[in-house]
Amino acid sequence: MTRCHPTAMILSLVLSLVLTLVAPAPAPARNLLQDLVKVYTTYQEVNMMLWLVGDVKAEKRFGQEAKWFLNLTNKKVKDPEALRWANSVFNRVKPQFRDRGFDYDLTVYEGSTVNAFAIPGGNIFIYKGMLDFVGSDDELAAIFAHELAHAERRHSLKQLRQNAAFQMLLQQAVKNRRDRETWGQVVGALTMLKFSREDEDEADDLGQAKMFAAGFNPSAQVVVWQKFVAKFGKGEKGLLQYLSTHPPSQDRVENARKNLARFQVPETKDFTLSFNILSDVQENLLQNGSFETDLAGKGMPDAWTVKDGRAQLAEGAVVTGRRCLQVTAEAQLRPVRVLSELIPVRPETRLTFTGWVRGEDGSQKISIGAQLLDAKKRLRGFIWPVLANQSATTSWVKVQGVFERGGDAHRQFQPDTAFIQIILQNGPMSKGAAWFDDLTLRRVDYTPPANLLAAGDFEYGGPDGLPAGVSGTPGRVSRDLQRFRTGYAAVRLAGAEGSPETEVEFAPIPLDSLKEGQEVQGTFHYCGTGEIKGRCLLELLDEAGNPLARRLVDKEFTTKGDLWQVTGFKTRLAFEGEEKRMARALGLRFVAAVPAGGAVWLDGCVLR
Residues 523 and 574 in one domain: yes
Residue 441 is predicted with a pLDDT of 95
pLDDT band at 3 (very low <50, low <70, confident <90, very high): very low
Q: Are 148 and 98 in contact (CB under 8 A)?
A: no
Residues 216 and 99 in one domain: yes
Residue 293 lies in a domain: no
Distances (CA, A) of 589 to 36, 253, 470, 517, 570: 74, 30, 9, 22, 15
Tell me which residue range forms the domain holding 439: 304-443
Using CB atoms within 10 A of its CB, is residue 472 exposed (0-12), middle (13-18) or buried (19+)?
Answer: buried
Name beta bridge partners: 324.
Answer: 314
Return the H-helix or E-strand segment holding 228: helix 219-232
What is the rounded CA–CA span in Å between residue 454 and residue 185?
54
For the chain, the C-alpha Rg in angstroms (whole number) is 33
Residue 334 lies in a domain: yes
Cis omega before residue 247 (within 30°)?
no
Q: What strands lie across the sheet with 599-607, from one edge to the other?
A: 477-480, 490-494, 599-607, 519-528, 565-572
Strands 105-109 and 123-127: parallel
Residue 558 is predicted with a pLDDT of 92
Q: Are 338 and 305 in contact (CB under 8 A)?
A: yes
Residue 542 is predicted with a pLDDT of 95
What is the rounded CA–CA span in Å between residue 266 and residue 217?
10
Tell me the per-residue pLDDT of 19-61, one tens digit each, with 9 for 90 and over: 333 344 444 444 433 443 343 344 344 444 444 445 677 677 7
* 209 three-class SS: helix
What is the rounded CA–CA span in Å between residue 484 and residue 491?
8
Residues 312 and 395 in one domain: yes
Our CA dihedral for 295, 296, 299, 300, rounded to 10 degrees, sits at -80
- Residue 476 predicted with pLDDT over 70: yes
pTM: 0.66
Strand ranges in 330-430 using DSSP code E only, listed in sequence order: 336-340, 343-344, 350-359, 365-373, 379-391, 397-404, 419-426
Residues 31 and 151 in one domain: no
Residues 136 and 161 in one domain: yes
pLDDT band at 248 (very low <50, low <70, confident <90, very high): low
Alpha carbon 42 to its chain centroid, in Å, reads 50
Residue 285 lies in a domain: no
Residues 206 and 321 in one domain: no
Who's near 194: CB < 8 A, 6+ residues apart? 159, 244, 245, 247
Q: Are 432 and 361 in contact (CB under 8 A)?
A: yes
Residues 433 and 490 in one domain: no
Residue 138 lies in a domain: yes
Regarding predicted confidence, which is higher, 347 or 505? 505
**What total number of domains does the chain contain?**
4
Domain end residue (candidates: 209, 244, 263): 263
Q: Are 360 and 467 in contact (CB under 8 A)?
A: no
What is the rounded CA–CA span in Å between residue 603 and residue 608?
16
What is the rounded CA–CA span in Å between residue 425 and residue 327?
8
Residue 194 is predicted with a pLDDT of 57
Tell me the per-residue pLDDT of 167-223, one tens digit each, with 9 for 90 and over: 454 455 454 555 445 444 544 445 455 566 777 888 899 999 999 988 889 999 999
Residues 471 and 414 in one domain: no
Domain end residue (candidates: 235, 263, 291): 263
What is the rounded CA–CA span in Å between residue 131 and residue 108?
9
Q: If you average pLDDT over each of 182-191, 222-231, 494-503, which comes out highest? A: 494-503
Return the H-helix or E-strand segment holding 256: helix 250-263
Dmax of the chain from CA atoms? 112
Tell me the per-residue pLDDT of 151-166, one tens digit each, with 9 for 90 and over: 888 776 665 555 444 4
Residues 41 and 66 in one domain: no
Residues 510 and 395 in one domain: no
pLDDT band at 8 (very low <50, low <70, confident <90, very high): very low
What CATH number does the domain containing 549 carry? 2.60.120.260
Q: Name the percent of the chain lying above pLDDT 70.
A: 79
Residues 133 and 77 in one domain: yes
